[in-house]
Structure 1
Amino acid sequence: MKNIVLIGMPGAGKSTIGVVLAKTLKMPFIDTDILIQQKQNRLLQEIIEEDGIEEFLSIEEQVILDLDVWGSVISTGGSVVLESDGMRHLKENGFVVYLQLPYKEIEKRIRDITTRGIVMQKGQSLLQVYDERVPLYEKYADAMIRCMGKNMEQIIKELKELWEGIR
């Protein structure tokens, strides 16, 4: 059985939705951001500040490449789409779903951009990050769920139906 891989912007709800989806489908849940923090024994923001963006992306990609699981719900960091080898690995073993939200909603959901562990170049705005990543999310996604205006139950129902349709 393949994995269900959730991608999307920080604040899109990948981790929250992933936990509930995993419970609903009786599947294990994996959050790659948590795996990175456990492996490094540091918060994402600390890794970015201390080691830089390129090193963080390298660490993130290695964590993804080391994943050897089947039949799991995997929540990824928003920056996962920036490393093609990692995404190739996720797609080989999974069904990738882009949790899509408009920029204004992402902006509302992200309270403090400086502590969130978001991969951003110095001087780059959240809107610029959004504009850079959306085409990549769309490129790698096998399916997209438009999350705006939907509650958790509606999103989970759509994901469950998608999953049942490909099994």
Structure 2
Amino acid sequence: MKNFKTINKNITLIGMPGSGKTSIGREIAKILSLPFYDIDEYIENKEKETVSTIFLKGEDYFRKLESEAIEAVSKNCPSIISTGGGSVKVSSNMEVLKRNSVILFINRPLENIINDIDISGRPLLADGTSRLYKLYEERYHLYKKYSDIEILNDQDFNMTVNKIIELLHILL
């Protein structure tokens, strides 16, 4: 197997809110001894406000901050990057990430997301879980379009992480 010390690309995770991008990303970063960046956390730390508070200023304002964060973080190569669920809505975000990333679509069944996530901290889901289905319809084709690999996250957490690590051994 290839030694991961030769990784020269970022590993970027895209997918729906609640799909497991952050948890999976943190674990992969730990296993590979790479820095981890969660775009929403990066924005919150930089702005000293929560994503929910930032969203009160408008989604366009948030997307601008998100694009700036993606541009900055993607330069820290190699690293693991967990994007916000809506990052794919801005094509320039994906162009920036495609330059030096392997992009993984973490595809988790909506029923699993609904049963697990706390929607209170997710501004786009404030109207309830029916909004999740609408977001999925809007974004699914974008996740497919921009991803290099699709990972179905419908198993045990460790099994999903191990499946990703095995795929990365093959790819990188």
Q: Which residue is equivalent to 1:144?
A: 150
Q: Which residue is equivalent to 1:69?
A: 76
Q: What root-mean-square deviation, in Å, do the aligned CA atoms of Structure 1 and Structure 2 show?
A: 1.7
Distance in 1, Cα, partners of 2:123 & 2:83: 13
Question: Residue by residue, what CA displacement relative to the aligned partner does 1:120-159 show, whole Å, maximum 9, x if unpaired?
Answer: 89xx8221011111111111000011111x1121111111
Name structure 2 gaps, 5 residues minimum: 1-7
Name structure 1 gaps, 5 residues minimum: none
Match of 2:107 among 100, 103, 119: 100
Q: Which residue is equivalent to 2:37?
A: 30
Q: Which residue is equivalent to 2:116?
A: 109
Alignment of 1:110-129 (within 5 A): 110-112=117-119, 114-118=120-124, 125-129=131-135
Alignment of 1:18-97 (within 5 A): 18-49=25-56, 51-67=57-73, 68-97=75-104
The normalised TM-score by structure 1 is 0.91
Question: Residue by residue, what CA displacement relative to the aligned partner does 1:24-72 show, whole Å, maximum 9, x if unpaired?
Answer: 11111111111111111100000001x1011111110111112211111
Amino acid of the structure 2 residue aligned with 1:87: M
Distance in 2, Cα, partners of 1:16 & 1:70: 20
Instruction: Figure out how many residues of one structure are paired with residues of the other and give that number.
Output: 162
Distance in 2, Cα, partners of 1:42 & 1:102: 30
Secondary structure of the residue aligned to 1:77 is coil
Amino acid of the structure 2 residue aligned with 1:11: G
Pair 118,125 (structure 1): closer, same or farther in 2 beyond 3 Å: closer
Identity value in percent: 34
Amino acid of the structure 2 residue aligned with 1:78: G
Instruction: Indicate conservation of the 8 Å contact 1:79/1:119, yes or no.
Output: no
Match of 1:11 among 8, 11, 18: 18
Instruction: Indicate conservation of the 8 Å contact 1:30/1:75, yes or no.
Output: yes
The normalised TM-score by structure 2 is 0.88
Distance in 1, Cα, partners of 2:53 & 2:113: 22
